[in-house]
Amino acid sequence: MTQGIPFPQIDPVAFQVGFIVIRWYALAYIVGLLLAWGLARKMSLKAKSVITILKLDDFLVWAIAGIILGGRLGYILFYNLKYYLEFPLQTLFLWQGGMSFHGGLIGVIIATFLFARKKHIPVLALGDILCCVAPIGLFLGRLANFVNAELYGRITTSVPWAVIFPGQTLPRHPSQIYEALCEGFILFCVLNSLWWFSAKYREKNGFFTGLFFLLYGLMRFGLEFFREPDAHLGFVLGRLSMGQVLCIPMVIGGLYLIRNASTKVQFKRLVKRGKND
C-alpha cells in the first residue's frame, strides 16, 4: 500500500508586479498560444500552404476569442449551469477557473469556419495545421491544472507516484500529469511526426483534423477512468463522466474525417466544379 507523495509547495501565482497578478494558469495559455502560433507559421512555409503566414497572423485573435469564450461557455453549459444561473456575474471571473476543453474546441471550430469563409480558404486545411499545434496548449494547460491542484485523479493505493493533494487525506492519481503526457506530449509527437515526414498525409485536407479528434477522444475517454468526476456533477451516463460523453462525438467525427479526407487536387476540382455550377 502506497502512502502517497505530498503535493509539492507550488505557488499558483507565477509573479506579481504591483496589483498585476500573473498566475501559472494564465501563463500556460499565453505561452501555449505563442508557441503554437510560431510552429503553425513554420508549417505554413514548409507545406507552401494556401494558409499563408499573414492569414495565420490574422487568425490568432480569432483563435484566442474562440478558446476563451468557447472554453468558458462550455464549462458553464456542460459542467455547472445551475450555479452560474444563480450567480451570473461569476461567469466573468476567469481567474477563478472553470474552462472546458470541449467548449474551447467548439469555440475554435466556429472561429475557424467563420475565418475560413471570410478569407476564402479551405476550412479543413486550416484545421489540420491548428490540430497539429493544439497539443502544445493542452500539455501546458494540464501542467497548470496540476499546479492549481485541480482536476485531480481518483483515490488509489496501487501506484507509487500517487499524490496527496491539498485538502485531501488519501493518495490520488495525478491525472493532470497523465493527460499532459498523453493528450499533450504523445499526441503532439504522433501528429507532427506524420505531418513533417509524410507528404502523403499532408496532402489530405481533413486527415490531421480527424486524427486529432480520434486520438484525443480515445485518450481522454480512457484517462477519465483515473480522474475524479466533478463533485457537483458526478457521473452523467451510467458510470461515464461528462468528459467521456463529450468525447464520443469527437471519436465518431474523427473517424468520419479520416475516412473522407480529400487530397488537395480533389479539393481544387471540387472548388472549380462549384464555380462552374
28 class by beta-carbon count within 10 Å (0-12 exposed, 13-18 middle, 19+ buried): buried
pLDDT value for 12: 87
For the ranges 29-33, 74-78, 180-184, 233-237, the maximum mean pLDDT occurs at 180-184
pLDDT value for 153: 96
**Of all residues in the chain, what percent carry a pLDDT higher than 70?**
91
pLDDT value for 270: 40
Sign of CA dihedral 83, 85, 90, 94: positive
pLDDT value for 185: 98
Query: What average pLDDT is seen over the chain?
Result: 88
pLDDT value for 275: 42
For residues 40-59, give the mean pLDDT: 85
For residues 68-85, give the mean pLDDT: 83
For residues 80-85, give the mean pLDDT: 78
pLDDT value for 59: 93
C-alpha–C-alpha distance, residues 216 and 248, integer Å: 11
209/231: higher pLDDT: 209
pLDDT value for 273: 40
Q: Where are the domains of the chain?
A: 5-276
Q: Helix, strand or coil for residue 172?
A: strand
Which cell numbers hold the place of 127?
A: 484545421
pLDDT value for 80: 78
pLDDT value for 258: 95
**Where do runs of H (alpha helix) occur along the chain?**
24-47, 53-79, 81-86, 101-119, 123-147, 175-179, 187-197, 199-202, 207-223, 242-259, 264-276
Instruction: Give the model confidence (pLDDT) of 155-198 as tens digits.
Output: 999 999 999 999 999 999 999 999 999 999 999 999 999 999 88
The candidate with the shortest Cα–Cα distance to 73, out of 99, 51, 108, 94, is: 99
The least confident of 4-8, 35-39, 174-178, 230-234 is 230-234
**C-alpha distances out from residue 74 to 45, 67, 176, 250, Å:** 34, 10, 19, 15
pLDDT value for 97: 61
pLDDT for 58 beyond 80: yes
Which cell numbers hold the place of 180?
A: 499532459
For the ranges 51-55, 112-116, 264-268, the maximum mean pLDDT occurs at 112-116
Q: Helix, strand or coil for residue 94?
A: helix
pLDDT value for 95: 58
pLDDT value for 277: 36
pLDDT for 268 beyond 70: no
